[in-house]
Structure 1
Amino acid sequence: MGALEEAHLAAAACGCDDDDDEDLVVLGDGGGEEEAGDAMEAAVRELLVGLGEDDRREGLRRTPKRVAKAFRDGTRGYKQKVKDIVQGALFPEVGVDKRTGSAGGTGGQVVVRDIDLFSYCESCLLPFSIQCHVGYVPSGGRVVGLSKLSRVADVFAKRFQSPQRLANEVCSALHASIQPAGVAVSLQCWHIPLPENLKCKSSQGLIRTSHSSRSGVFEGENSSFWNDFVALLKLRGIGMEMDSHSAVLPWCPLRPNEVPLCNGHGKRMTTNGAISPKSGSSPSNMVSAVSSMLLSLGEDPLRKELLDSPQRYVQWLMRFRACSLDVKLNGFTLNGASVYERPDVGATDHRAIRSELHLPFCAQCEHHLLPFYGVVHIGYYGSGDGEAIDRSHFQALVHFYGCKLQVQERMTRQIAEAVYSVSHRGAIVVVEANHICMISRGIEKIRSSTATIAVLGHFLTDSSAKASFLQNIIDTADLEE
């Protein structure tokens, strides 16, 4: 391997190991589900062929099985019932005399905050992350086991959803099943944006929206219980206000960019570089394949909220269509220079080190057909004439390697090799990414992130040069917020 053999490639599997699928929860009693799984796998193969990929190549060979398992696990809520969860979880709680206050089973509010969930957006069939907060006021001297609140929320999250309907369904189900004096539900949801709308930091550019639903004593503009609920959330720094941009942009970035008006009609927005989904028809065989996947999961593709969802999902996938790597790109080309030659050991001039940091990207994980996104940091030794490569060229390079079915480790290496083919003295690339496949599926590690690094040339032999570059990333992180 040479130089890259000594490069540090951290978090080698990015949560996408071939063997990690055994952790998934498989529901059902065999037969029918196995047939549905086979149908889904065939549909995924159809999608891969439509993307110009070879589903027999290493990296994609087990992708149909992984995608089918991920979708089945992520929509298992259709096969779960709230009454089965809550039954037997109501406990007597005397509390204090109502005349002296409210507590426990006699009317005191109970709030469970920061429940991390994920769901599938019914508009584009991509996962979105959720932070859920549930409050209720017990009645009849009974309280419910706290874990049941999060489990009920998870039942409805594990379905194709919109944020507001999710809040309404959780609220209604809890009110009907535990019969409290009232229920309050608050959600903060984050949707992956289109690749071209990602900002400098990996957490920016995400579409965030807040929604709530309430019943019983929480209803009404002057409800003291609702005011207490909001105050208890604020103790954790949780605000109920909707982000300014979420009020004017559609929740799903792949939906037509229309703003609803008071009379129920809509108008087309003129964008200023915000969300502007590409229009155009999708291959009919791919759309049909996605519709068959919905049927296999027990959904109705003709449900009005899902009518255009298969086409939007295919349009998303087509953004990562296979293309040849043997092209010239803004001056970068993988020429005949060897990237594995070890440079001469000796003093190097750190003043010649150039860097371009916090270059945003969005790629598609080839193991699960789910997006991963974040930032790329590039360091290299400039030429003797002091000319620096323009940032736009590096952004184009990152986009070129990111906009295809990928794995983070390979993308890191490819970018490093391309940079080194231009700057023969040394190149270092760090990629920081959030993987949607880490928040969905059985693993559900909501706040995890993955970092990879590839080191070539003088950065291999000069540890101080590498340390200087890494420190530069740390020093500029706050500036990019």
Structure 2
Amino acid sequence: RTPSAAAMGALEEAHLAAVAACGCDEEEEEDLLVEVGGGEAPGDAMEPAVRALLAGLGEDDRREGLRRTPKRVAKAFRDGTRGYRQKVKDIVQGALFPEVGVDKRTGSAGGTGGQVVVRDIDLYSYCESCLLPFSIQCHVGYVPSGGRVVGLSKLSRVADVFAKRFQNPQRLANEVCGALHASIQPAGVAVAMQCWHIPLPENFKCKNSGALIRTSHSSRSGVFEGENSSFWNDFVALLKLRGIDMEMDSRSASLTWCPLRPHEVPLCNGIPSNMVSAVSSMLLSLGEDPLRKELLGSPQRYVQWLMRFRACNLDVKLNGFTFNSASVYERPGEDATDHRAISSELHLPFCAQCEHHLLPFYGVVHIGYFGSGDGEGINRSHFQALVHFYGCKLQVQERMTRQIAEAVYSVSHRGAIVVVEANHICMISRGIEKIRSSTATIAVLGQFSTDSSAKASFLQSILDTANQEV
């Protein structure tokens, strides 16, 4: 069945509306953070500040899905910055153990100078430039001295103390290295990190992880210092056993880390001052100083990010997608399916904002539908606009999947199938820290719901193209 002219016009209109709805400029500034002490910060300003942000986005915090969002967001920020209220000496104290090595022999072993490396420590932190979480894979090595070794879990816990602060990657590596050297007094410490920062939505590529900004950073002290340090060479070699090549990754340290940092947007340029004030009050509640040099501009950047997902009244322009929506759930005819008529658009990238935690989730959308069979159809840019329209707002993945499927079905009345694969930042933060988890959802309408072979054919096409660039 050929899509009607009205439906095609609606697709074109949604393409223009989606571009207009979420266009934003970017901004910038230098970062570096000093340690802030203090006890438990009062949290009573956090939830009202989140409500102010939701209002600024055109949302109603009383609607279902947003009622507990202020509490969730406040809890996530408090948990993600708990490192300000922790001390390294409290972690390491009592965790040093005597370990007698091999005496009077050439070389090193155990407590007499053998290197110890803990690899693949999964962490997350908050980027101090934009206040969004980023994920970290940390590797820590040290050379014991004085016949004493430290409990291995303490290396991870010390790294977590500094990760749970507003950070940038290089300073994080330096602080972990310095704290371990000062607290356990080894012959030397080496720290290596790979960090992943979510990019701007318009910079997403077709693959879930390919769009992430990845940089690698390292820091070393004592016997690890120097270009010809055998200890550093051993450390790098032990990382290579896990497929981590620090020499190859060292070039990434020069990349721009935060995508919101390169351009500074003044308040008068569409950034609501009341929302910026709300974010500043959140920083104060967490024990931070928003006027400190390294955080200047961060509230504006965070609001700028949120404004990319603001509510809009453009849904009325989607009538072309959803007209005759009552027919979405009608049972299609039982005619035999010609699988050659199945059209698909796969690996459409998207970035949305979870309405439960105000944290991004991102990934790809796969769309299948029954075409007209005469060569006419809807091109990829129309479907990308549709995905962008439903993604560029506060969302949940399940609802987004259904909305896209219903919109496609309103154009191709025989059947529609949509699969969404996404990584949720809320799964790496908030104490969950499931770094490599992903979520898949599926919506099946029309003939795809009754023809299992048609559904299987579409799902196989996703698998067949999984390792291809789109």
TM-score by length of 2: 0.89
Distance 1:279 1:209 in 2: 33
Question: What are the residue-to-residue correspondences of 1:398-477 with 2, within 5 Å?
Answer: 398-477=387-466
| Partner deviation per Cα, 1:238-284 (whole Å, 9 max, x = no partner) | 011465984564200000259xxxxxxxxxxxxxxxxx999934111
The one-letter code sitting in structure 2 at the alignment partner of 1:209 is T
2:188 corresponds to 1:182: yes
Distance 2:351 2:407 in 1: 19
The one-letter code sitting in structure 1 at the alignment partner of 2:149 is V
Question: What are the residue-to-residue correspondences of 1:52-451 with 2, within 5 Å?
Answer: 52-241=58-247, 246=252, 249-256=255-262, 280-328=269-317, 333-337=321-325, 338-451=327-440
Distance 1:63 1:328 in 2: 28
Distance 1:111 1:296 in 2: 37
Distance 1:158 1:277 in 2: 29
Q: Please name the residue that 1:27 is paired with.
A: none
Secondary structure of the 1:147 match is helix
CA contact (8 A) 1:254 1:277 kept: no
Relative to structure 1, the CA distance from residue 38 to residue 116 in structure 2 (aligned partners, 3 Å threshold; closer, same or farther) is same
Aligned residues between the structures: 431
Secondary structure of the 1:479 match is coil
Distance 1:257 1:241 in 2: 30
* Shift in Å, 1:206: 0.8
Q: Please name the residue that 2:48 is paired with.
A: 42
* Shift in Å, 1:389: 1.0
Distance 1:176 1:332 in 2: 65
Q: Name whichever of 193-202 and 93-102 sits farther off.
A: 93-102
Distance 1:157 1:65 in 2: 23
CA RMSD of aligned residues (A): 2.0
Distance 2:233 2:336 in 1: 65
Distance 1:241 1:71 in 2: 34
Relative to structure 1, the CA distance from residue 137 to residue 248 in structure 2 (aligned partners, 3 Å threshold; closer, same or farther) is closer
The one-letter code sitting in structure 2 at the alignment partner of 1:95 is G
CA contact (8 A) 1:257 1:277 kept: no
Distance 1:279 1:316 in 2: 16
Distance 2:253 2:209 in 1: 19
* Shift in Å, 1:98: 5.0
Secondary structure of the 1:113 match is strand
Relative to structure 1, the CA distance from residue 53 to residue 98 in structure 2 (aligned partners, 3 Å threshold; closer, same or farther) is farther
The one-letter code sitting in structure 2 at the alignment partner of 1:336 is N
CA contact (8 A) 1:249 1:257 kept: no
Distance 2:72 2:241 in 1: 40
Q: Name whichever of 381-390 and 168-177 sits farther off.
A: 381-390
Unaligned runs of 5+ in 2: 1-38
Secondary structure of the 1:419 match is helix
The one-letter code sitting in structure 1 at the alignment partner of 2:113 is G
Aligned-pair identity in percent equals 89
